[in-house]
Amino acid sequence: MKELHPKQQQLLEILKSNISDPLTLEELAQRLSVSSKSVAFHHVKQLEKKGYLKRNPDNPRDYIILKDPERNVVYLPMYGCAKCGPEGTLLSGAPTRVVPVDPSMIYFPACKGFMVEAKGDSMENIIAPRDWLIVEQNCQPKNRDIVVCVNQGEVMVKRFSQDGENIILQSQNKKYSPIVADRHSFHVEGIVRSIIKRNF
């Protein structure tokens, strides 16, 4: 990581403290006591260039802090698993929260990471309800990968396999039958890379 200008360090702290209710560029400029929005935007771009920040190109107020230099954590957005976003994808919706995660738990670029909270019992005994899943954005899973996907507008966590032209979504729990994915609406949001058990 490259060294930060004092204003960029200040900006990073402001972004962290307002991540659940992001500020506009005008508000950032006011908090930084700089002359204009363009100066604030310059420092935002420098944070991106130096690897501390990633912004959603479709929504600049939706961002991920990739590195906290003082606490040595990365911040991953958590998305609800019960509902799709407005375009029928999980990631087009707004994150429900942002979770600090130890970088050692992530074996892929943090900018591709997100989290979901598991619901239901279809993946027991691997994934229990309320477990947190660390997911890598990736639309090209291999057979037997556990994926977060959308099928006919429903977000689900299933084991992926492909049989010829058919994509089969399998549950771990034997009481649920395999699902043949709808080829017109199905897409993979990401591959589950880690599971944080939250049994309590």
Active site residues: 122, 158
Residue 76 · residue 97 · CB < 8 Å: no
Count CB-CB contacts under 10 A for residue 115.
23
Residue 129 · residue 121 · CB < 8 Å: yes
Phi, psi of 149 (to 5 degrees): -140, 170
Q: Cα(93)–Cα(126) distance, rounded to whole angstroms?
A: 27
> For 42, which DSSP code?
H
Residue 139 · residue 180 · CB < 8 Å: no
